Chain A
Amino acid sequence: AQRVTQPEKLLSVFKGAPVELKCNYSYSGSPELFWYVQYSRQRLQLLLRHISRESIKGFTADLNKGETSFHLKKPFAQEEDSAMYYCALGSSNTGKLIFGQGTTLQVKP
């Protein structure tokens, strides 16, 4: 079964602390993974895609096929990073995105 799991509902850190938002997936084919972010009262927007191997706003995510994980990391959290983060799995068969439950990141001053 295709599934995305984000085990933490809420992650609260202080400004300047490292952040890791966990994401594990279950997929029988070759996965395509994304991180989407939803700031307060804004639409969902793409943060990272694994195929691009990019760093956006200081965030990075590495696909680990052995551990079936795609954790999102940032070495020094900023207050403006406070938002809801969703990990999503793309199904090449259907073109659908399967979303995790989401993790609220709260960065305290």
Chain B
Amino acid sequence: EDQVTQSPEALRLQEGESSSLNCSYTVSGLRGLFWYRQDPGKGPEFLFTLYSAGEEKEKERLKATLTKKESFLHITAPKPEDSATYLCAVQLVPSNDYKLSFGAGTTVTVRA
């Protein structure tokens, strides 16, 4: 069965302490891998789309990378405002419903 697993479940960082989140997937065909940020009580906010192994995307202190079986979200010198739950999702090929299969998320807390 296709599956998306995120680790760790929770990550507590000191401000400025860089770290990485992992998203591993066991799918038969990947159309795209998406990263979202979700703040408490709000909807997921789109961050990145990655389509092929070796691809990288950056936005401020966040950098997402993709290999054939996993993706990493690197947070460089995080600030307290980077505290959120980060979700990854995969979209498969072929896909008639275009659904995103989500992982359970990694909750990041950055302390000042």
A and B bind: no
